[in-house]
């Protein structure tokens, strides 16, 4: 399976802090925002990743990640001139997908929780059709919403409904099979003038190829589209890391634990960062060496 991070958009809801910098490069506590969705893909076992962003941001992302080889993965880049809806990601890069399954994650999402990595790895190995997630929220009208029956069968899917039928929002993490490019090509713009991800999901639903995974207690999903949620995400990461002493979204640690790099490479990466982040990596090296 290949991965795509959609990291474009103008970030107007976060003005003025996004007037000069892409939202996905803003700090969430001690890391750029885009570290967190990339960590989810890496923890899923996905090692080929395409980052889609605008022309101004792509050089900055290349400077941040390069080709990904230092993390034992392969990162490529594609330009999105104008944000025309999430399914456009599949129209920009059909040659990248090349009839393979693909995971799309939004660049402003944090998904974290017990057993999540193993759950996602199983999805990657066994995936068919389309898989979305359902997460209970207090304000579902701000999101795509999925309605389920007692057997978790999908009853309806709506995009930002005025009167939600359920409190299950659809987080920005989607798994699709190779048909996603063809289905995306057949979509028509909504009244908003954009291609809607809910329309793409509904196509799989109508063909009985949609699966839903529920994220409940023990999992956290945070999207960072407002000043409030930006702050809340930083506070969440800070609280977890300082309480447990373990980092969320440390790409170097994940690369080692997933066997993408060896201990020598991990140590080298730690020595290039002269702060607590680098010290954390070097402490891991010492811990792993003593085992």
Per-domain residue ranges of the chain: 2-243
Per-residue exposure over 183-212, b if at least 16 CB sit within 10 Å of its own CB, e if not: bbeebeeeeeebbbbbbbbbbbbeeeebbb
pTM of the predicted model as reported, rounded to 2 decimal places: 0.95
Specify burial of residue 145 (Cβ count, 10 A radius: 0-12, 13-18, 19+): buried
Cis before 16? omega within 30:
yes
Question: pLDDT (tens digit, 9 = 90+) per residue, 54-93?
Answer: 999 999 999 999 999 999 999 999 999 888 889 999 999 8
User: What is the per-residue DSSP string for 44-90?
Assistant: TT--EEEEEE-TTTHHHHHHHHTTSGGGTSEEEEEE-SS---TTHHH
Q: Are 29 and 241 in contact (CB under 8 A)?
A: yes
5 has which bridge partners?
Answer: 51, 105
Distance CA 182, CA 186 (A): 7
CATH fold of 2-243, please?
Spore Coat Polysaccharide Biosynthesis Protein SpsA; Chain A (3.90.550)
Question: pLDDT (tens digit, 9 = 90+) per residue, 123-163?
Answer: 999 999 999 999 999 999 999 999 999 888 999 999 889 99
Cα-trace Rg, the chain: 19
């Amino acid at each position: 399976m290949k991965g795509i991070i959609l990291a474009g958009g103008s970030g107007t809801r976060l003005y003025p802090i996004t007037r000069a910098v892409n939202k996905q490069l803003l700090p969430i506590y001690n890391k750029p925002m885009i570290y967190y969705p990339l960590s989810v893909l890496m923890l899923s076992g996905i090692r080929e990743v395409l980052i889609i962003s605008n022309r101004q941001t792509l050089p900055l992302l290349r400077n941040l990640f390069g080709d990904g080889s230092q993390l034992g993965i392969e990162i490529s880049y594609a330009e999105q001139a104008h944000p025309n809806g999430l399914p456009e990601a599949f129209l920009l890069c059909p040659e990248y997908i090349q009839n393979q399954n693909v995971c799309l994650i939004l660049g402003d999402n944090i998904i974290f929780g017990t057993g999540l990595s193993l759950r996602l790895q199983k999805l990657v190995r066994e995936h068919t059709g389309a898989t979305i997630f359902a997460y209970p929220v207090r304000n579902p009208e701000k999101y795509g919403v999925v309605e389920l029956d007692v057997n978790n069968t999908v009853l309806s899917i709506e995009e930002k409904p005025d009167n939600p039928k359920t409190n299950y929002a659809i987080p920005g993490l989607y798994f699709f099979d190779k048909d996603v490019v063809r289905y995306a090509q057949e979509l028509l713009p909504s009244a908003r003038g954009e291609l809607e991800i809910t329309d793409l999901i509904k196509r799989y639903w109508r063909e009985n190829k949609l699966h839903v995974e529920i994220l409940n207690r023990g999992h956290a999903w945070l999207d960072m589209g407002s000043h409030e949620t930006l702050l809340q995400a930083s506070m969440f990461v800070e609280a977890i890391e300082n309480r447990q002493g373990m980092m969320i979204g440390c790409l170097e640690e994940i690369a080692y634990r997933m066997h993408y790099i060896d201990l020598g490479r991990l140590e080298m990466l730690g020595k290039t960062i002269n702060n607590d982040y680098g010290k954390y990596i070097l402490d891991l090296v010492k811990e792993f060496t003593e085992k």
